[in-house]
Amino acid sequence: MNLREAKFSVIDLETTGLNLLKDEILSIAIVPMKGTKIMAGESYYTFVKPSNYDLKSMKFHGIDPKTLKQAPSFSEISEEVRERIEDSIIVGHAVEIDLNFLKKAFKAQGIELNNKSIDIALLEKWLCDRLGERKCTADLSLDALIRDYNLSMRFRHDALADAFLTAQIFQIQLLKLMKYGLTSVERVLSAIESTKMSRIDFIF
Amino acid sequence: MTSPPKEFMRRIKPFSFLTEDELNLLVDNLDVEAYEKGSTIVKKGKQSKYIFLVFSGVVGLYDDDTLVDTASKGEIFGILSAITGNPFSLSAIAMDDTICYRIKKEAFNKVFEKNPKFSAFFSTFINRRFRSFTNLLKETEGAFQEEIYLTRVKEIVTKDPVVCEPNTSIEEAARIMLEKNVGSIVVVDQGKAVGILTDHDLKRVLISGDKNAKVTEFMNSPVITVNADQPVFEAYLTLINKGINYIVVVDNGRVEGVITSKDILTQFEPSSSLIALYRKIRKANSMDELKSHLAGIRKAVAGLAMKGVHFYELSRMITSVYDSTVVRVIKMVEEDFKKDGITLPDYVWIHVGSSGRKEQIIATDQDNCLIRSADEDEKLMIEFAKKVNEALDYIGIPKCTANYMASNPKWNLSLEDWKANFEKWFTSLTGENIRYLSVFLDMRPIYGDQKLYLALLDHIKSNITNQAIRFLALDATSIEPPIGFFGIKGLEKGLDIKLHGIYPIANGVRVLALDNKILDTTNTRERLERLSEMGVLSDERAREVLESYEFLQELRLKRQSAAVSAGSEGDNVIRLENIDRIDAYVLKEALKIVSSFQNFIRGKYRIESGF
């Protein structure tokens, strides 16, 4: 499929932690893209009530526990989220972690998620390798990418802001890819796959 | 909820005028598209569903193959098409990889109709009414009337408090007040204010008291105080209600200072400080008094400019103050001559250049000359003019570096010699003579015998040559504003707006005025008004040129005011980093108008056809 025709869902999650076994999703942001176009007006952002987490101990997230108490549980929103990301390629920064949390949450609802995914950090690494400008590990953090792409924003990031900024980075990456003659989704996915092989753990 | 597109837009005028709901409506109807270098965004003659806000890159706006304008980060295009429903009149092409925020036309129009400030902003640009635009900003950013409610008392306390102990004698207290140059002293006992002694109380002591008595006998007690954190407005109300002139400012019981109603008024009434200075100057009896009053002028003007008083009003006020100062000085020098038994012959003191045009602002120096009745007075009148020039320099109006001064024998002439000068200048069109014409055609009589001036004007009118007008037109169009395809050229390095914007307009307008024998009017605005009444300029052009002129002058004024407030000398050089995006935007538009005005002058006086 041509990149310009492809449907992407740029996502960002906030979770109680990084342990897939015990941590839970607290918010989900989805910014849809059609080709290079970011459909900002159709963005989706919701808080999610965790099922067995002690709300009092979570002040550090900057999310008001009251907001979470009133938020829908994942089962209540799973259908809407599934519809939004259906038939799209999931895009995110270090997207594997977010994707695993989503898969686990959907699995609990009896839904299997099999979307393809693109990690903008891996894509950036691939682009940099191609440009001969190999980057060090720290350079691929979201904050560094936001800076490198001149997208600096002065306010505190929430999941929606991060998803939007991720989309803006991905948009410029798409332009670069097309300049290199990579116009099909399949080729981009396999390019990223090749990067994964040689990857070192750069995210943390 | 914050989102990056909203945060980006919120910082850009006119989106900054929008309410949260209106911004949300736009963001709900927004997408972000990336365009590869060279790709067409909208074709001329086509409709678009969107208005475009450039986020990064550069968009070229083309009329067929001609590049007409560019839009870069923060700039908007497609508005006119959205509002009128007409197709795009220009093609928009990405000149680099470009990212645009696109807002659906319908949503934009909804906000445009709902929010008058937002729509006024765009009409300002479409109709090139920059002045209404600066008014708009002022309105948004808070007029000075609001400041009185927002400013806290501690912000206007400038001096350390002047205090004394309860057992201080009246004489000692008076000495401290004199030394610190204040009208009141706060009596403090163990850190707490127990009373205040003012100038008024000292008068009472003088009539019925003993200067060796203690301050506690004559002070006002208990003392009326205001808390440092209270708004200035409340302090002002207290002053009025209690009928007092001084109020003590305290912070946690500690004395922070004293403020007077005058302190408050000069802070918040934009012109009161200038008016007060004007009165003082008219009453001044010595050069030193004049000097000290005039020193306040620069600061007062800088303050007014920062508060957004328009150039035209401000220059009018400053002109009155400077004129009356000059008249005071001349009269004092005349007195000195009279004391020595010397009677001066008839003469008229003339201002030329920007002062002649009533357009001087902060960094102003002397530009003057003198017309006298007969030849034999030369030595005396030069001596007289020298004294005036020296005195003006002493009180703070510096000498003209180009020596356009009445003390220069070249510019201190009899009526007949002045007539001969103009005849020569009008016929022998050397660079030097053209420069003299530019300076001396802006003559304005300040003091003395008007008849001499009027006689010279008559003579000038009957000696104007067409060739002189054409040479002046050439001169007025030789320095062009540096606008190019990418906006204003060299703005990063600095642009001299006096040279590239203000002079071309003032000079061009002078040419038209001379051609139409408007000589008694020297002010550029007034000349433009008369030219448009006479039909020499269309109302449209006269207004455009005037709007640009005032904008450029205001930009220069703001720049110089900032310099004065920072305690340095101002200049006329504008750099990209010290003006905001909107000023840069208007500057570009204003310079385009200058450029178009120059083309009009070139065409009218057939400059291209050679000399």
Contacts of A172 in chain B (CB under 8 A): 34, 97, 99
Bridge partners (DSSP) listed for residue B245? none
The answer to whether B133 and B586 are in contact (CB under 8 A) is yes
pLDDT above 70: residue A36: yes
- The amino acid present at B272, given as its one-letter code, is S
Q: What is the mean pLDDT of residues B320-345?
A: 91
In 10 A of CB B483, how many CB atoms?
A: 19
Q: How far apart are CA B379 and CA A195, in angstroms?
A: 93
Cα(B232)–Cα(B260) distance, integer angstroms: 11
- As given in the structure block, the two tokens for residue A115 are 């979307």
Q: What percent of chain B has pLDDT over 70?
A: 88
The whole-number pLDDT of residue A39 equals: 94
Between A49-58, B294-303, B591-600, the lowest mean confidence (pLDDT) is in: A49-58
B4/A153 touch (CB, cutoff 8 Å), yes or no: yes
pLDDT at A131: 67
Spatial separation of the C-alpha atoms in residues B306 and B300, rounded to whole Å: 10
Q: Is the pLDDT of residue B125 over 80?
A: no
- For β-strands B246-251 and B91-94, DSSP reports them as unpaired
Does position B606 have pLDDT exceeding 80, yes or no? Answer: yes
Q: Is the pLDDT of residue B227 over 50?
A: yes
B526 versus B576: the higher-pLDDT residue is: B526
| Chain segment B415-472, per-residue pLDDT in tens | 999 999 999 999 999 999 999 999 999 999 999 999 999 999 999 999 999 999 999 9
| CA separation for the pair B89, B75 (Å, rounded) | 17
Q: Which of A147-156, B100-109, B545-554 has the lowest mean pLDDT?
A: A147-156
Burial of B130 (0-12, 13-18, 19+ CB in 10 A): buried
d(CA A30, CA A33): 10
Listed residue (A115, A89, A100, A83) closest to A170, CA to CA: A89
Do the strands B368-372 and B412-414 form a parallel or antiparallel pair, or are they unpaired? parallel
Q: Verify whether the Cβ–Cβ distance A40 to B36 is below 8 Å.
A: no
| Torsional class of B467: left (φ above 0), alpha (ψ -120 to 50), beta (otherwise) | alpha
Question: If you average pLDDT over residues B193-213, what whole number do you get?
Answer: 88
pLDDT value for B244: 83
Least confident of A141-145, B37-41, B422-426, B439-443: A141-145
Which of B513, B600, B506, B602 minimizes the C-alpha distance to B556? B506
Residue B234, token pair as written in the block: 């409340």
Q: Given CB atoms, is B5 within the 8 Å cutoff of chain A?
A: yes
Distances (CA, A) of B159 to B155, B180, B213, B310: 11, 10, 27, 30
* Tokens representing residue A158 in the block: 């929430």
Q: Do A153 and B36 touch (CB under 8 A)?
A: no
Do residues A83 and A156 touch, judged by C-beta distance below 8 A? no
- Chain B residues within an 8 Å CB radius of A154: 7
DSSP lists the bridge partners of residue A34 as A7, A37
Q: Is B29 on the interface with A (CB under 8 A)?
A: yes
Beta B495-496 vs B91-94: how paired, if at all?
unpaired
CA dist list (Å): B390 to B284, B366, B404, B581: 18, 10, 14, 44
pLDDT band at B50 (very low <50, low <70, confident <90, very high): very high
Q: Which residue of A has its CA nearest to B25?
A: A41
Give yes or no for residue B203 having a pLDDT over 50: yes
Residue B446 parent element (H or E): strand B444-448
Chain B within 8 Å of A167 (Cβ-Cβ)? yes
Least confident of A105-109, B171-175, B606-610: B606-610
What average pLDDT score do residues A21-49 get?
A: 92
Task: Find out whether B468 and B604 touch, Cβ atoms under 8 Å.
Answer: no
Q: How confident is the model at residue B128 (pLDDT cuts 50, 70, 90)?
A: low
Chain centroid to CA B31: how far?
A: 42
Q: For residue B269, give Cα distances in angstroms to B107, B146, B275.
A: 42, 11, 10
Q: Which residues of B touch A165 (CB under 8 A)?
A: 4
Measured between alpha carbons, how far apart are the two ends of chain A, in Å? 33
**Which pLDDT does position A145 carry in this prediction?**
86
Cβ burial of B269 (10 Å; 0-12, 13-18, 19+) is middle
Q: B148, B231 in Cβ contact below 8 A? A: yes
The answer to whether B32 contacts A161, with C-beta atoms less than 8 Å apart, is no
Residue A146 touches chain B, beta carbons under 8 Å? no
Look at residues B565, B555, B4, B314 and name the one whose alpha carbon lies nearest to residue A155: B4
Measure the CA angle with vertex B182, ends B177 and B188; round to 5°.
60
Cβ A189 vs Cβ A116: under 8 Å:
yes
The packing angle between helices B466-478 and B431-440, to 10°, is 90
Closest to B358 in 3D by CA, of B391, B305, B318: B318
Per-residue pLDDT of A168-186, as tens digits, reads 999 999 998 888 888 899 9
Residue range B146-175: mean pLDDT, rounded: 81
Nearest to B7 among A38, A40, A153 (CB): A153
Average pLDDT over residues B253-277: 73
Average pLDDT along chain A: 84
Mean pLDDT score of chain B, rounded to an integer?
84
Residue percentage of chain B with pLDDT more than 90: 42
Beta strand ranges found along B285-428 (DSSP E): 347-351, 368-372, 412-414
CB contacts of A171 in chain B (<8 Å) are 32, 34, 99
Tokens standing for B164?
Answer: 């004394």
- List the single range of A38-42, A156-160, B367-371, B587-591 with lowest mean pLDDT: A156-160
Q: Is residue B140 over pLDDT 50?
A: no
Going from the N-terminus, what domains does chain B have, and what CATH number goes with each? 4-126 (2.60.120.10), 153-267 (3.10.580.10), 270-458 (3.30.460.10), 464-611 (1.20.120)
Residues in Cβ contact with B456 at an 8 Å cutoff, skipping those fewer than 6 apart: B371, B415, B418, B419, B422, B443
Distance of CA B367 to the CA centre of its chain: 19
Q: Tens digits of per-residue pLDDT, B343-357?
A: 899 999 999 998 999
pLDDT of amino acid A154: 58
Band of the pLDDT at B142, cuts 50, 70, 90? very low
From chain A residues 29-88, the ones with a CB under 8 A of any chain B CB are 36-41, 43, 45
Alpha helix (H) ranges present in B115-152?
A: 116-126, 130-141, 144-150
**Confidence band for B260, pLDDT divided at 50, 70 and 90:** confident
Average pLDDT over residues A46-61: 71
pLDDT above 50 (res A203)? no
pLDDT category, B517, cuts 50, 70, 90? very high
Is beta strand B246-251 parallel, antiparallel or unpaired with respect to B225-227?
parallel
**How many Å is the maximal CA-CA distance in chain B?**
92
Domains in chain A, please, with CATH? 7-197 (3.30.420.10)
Query: Of A165, A125, A124, A123, whose CA–CA distance to A143 is shortest?
Result: A165
First to last CA, chain B: 67
Rounded distance, CA B394 to CA B292, Å? 11
- What is d(CA B409, CA B342) in angstroms, rounded to the nearest whole number? 20
A137 touches chain B (CB under 8 A): no
| pLDDT for position B141 | 45
Can you tell me the distance from the alpha carbon of A44 to that of A29, in angstroms, rounded to the nearest whole number?
6
Exposure string for B200-236, b = 16+ CB within 10 A, e = fewer: ebbeebeeeeeeeebbbebbbeebbbbbbeebbbebb
Instruction: Give whole-number Cα distances, A145 to A141, A167, A173, B7, B9, in Å.
Output: 6, 12, 11, 19, 21
Task: Give, as one character, the DSSP assignment of residue B268.
Answer: H
Q: How big, in percent rounded to 5, are the helix, strand and coil portions of chain A? A: 50, 15, 35
Give residue A199's pLDDT: 52
| pLDDT (average), residues B122-143 | 56
